[in-house]
Amino acid sequence: MSRKPKLYYFNGRGKMESIRWLLAAAGVEFEEEFLETREQYEKLLQGGSLLFQQVPMVEIDGMKMVQTRAILSYIAGKYNLYGKDLKERALIDMYVGGTDDLMGFIMMFPFLSAEDKEKQRAVIVQKATSRYFPAYEKVLKDHGQDFLVGNNFSWADVHLLEAILMVEEKKSDVLSGFPQLQAFKARISSIPTIKKFLEPGSQRKPVPDDKYVETVRRVLRMYYDVKAN
């Protein structure tokens, strides 16, 4: 019996959250080791576990994988969430890439000053509603299918739902002008593995708080202020 994947990261979202989402969507149970001290991080470094001296790191199938995109691609391929052929994989990569761009505006939000947070909130909503959500709305409308690629549940769907929920945390009615995405959100959220992950008590992490920010700064020795995009 193979071991459960083991995730090494902070007890919070960051770059690991999309990995949690994808494993959960695939119905895969996983373990987590939370980094809380600089000593834990240095132990991983000294042990050679972090190829590029950074987390996330995931132990899976006898490998110690780093680089978020590589980890996600491996999980998607392993659990049949990466399309049926090269063309579908290219579309999934394209849609995931766009969603990543949107998430990039949100990822560092917790580390901003109060003033910069208000500015960044407006940027996030503007980018979502003028660039990214219209693109996905058009994709869903044009092909008239339930999912983004090949009418099969894929990594692209998981990633987009994660992004939608992240933006809704900044503006709850952000989907008001996007009926296709509203229906998409309802469909994907009702998939049993996703529904389970969205329930209280799952390994999904909450909105990052001050404790998470302080832990990341201490472990990574982030002594500088992050600037808004």
pLDDT, tens digit, 9 for 90 and up, residues 145-179: 999 999 999 999 999 999 999 999 999 999 999 99
Cα 178 from Cα 47, distance rounded (Å): 48
At 224 the pLDDT is 54
Tokens encoding 27? 């119905």
Alpha helix ranges (H) inside 3-143 = 17-25, 38-46, 68-78, 86-107, 114-127, 133-143
Could you please state the CATH topology (level 3) that the domain comprising 86-190 is classified under.
Answer: Glutathione S-transferase Yfyf (Class Pi); Chain A, domain 2 (1.20.1050)
Q: Spell out a b/e string for 47-67, using b for 16 or more CB atoms within 10 Å of the CB, else e.
A: eeebeeeebbbbbbeeebbbe
- Please give the share of the chain, as a percent, with pLDDT higher than 70: 96
Span 37-61, average pLDDT: 95
> Does 87 score more than 50 pLDDT?
yes
At 32 the pLDDT is 97
At 2 the pLDDT is 60
> Does 225 score more than 70 pLDDT?
no
Span 186-210, average pLDDT: 97
Q: 96 to each of 31, 169, 195, 217, how far by Cα in Å? A: 25, 20, 21, 28
pTM to 2 decimals?
0.95
At 131 the pLDDT is 97
Sign of torsion over alpha carbons 18, 21, 27, 30: positive
**Average pLDDT taken over every residue of the chain:** 94
Sketch the domain layout of the chain as residue ranges: 6-79+198-220, 86-190
At 1 the pLDDT is 46
Span 42-60, average pLDDT: 94
> Does 48 score more than 60 pLDDT?
yes
At 228 the pLDDT is 53
Task: Output the CATH code of domain 6-79+198-220.
Answer: 3.40.30.10
Tell me which of 229 and 125 has the higher pLDDT.
Answer: 125
Phi, psi of 7 (to 5 degrees): -105, 130
Q: Is the link from the previous residue into 192 a cis peptide, with omega within 30 of 0?
A: no
Q: How many residues does the chain have?
A: 229
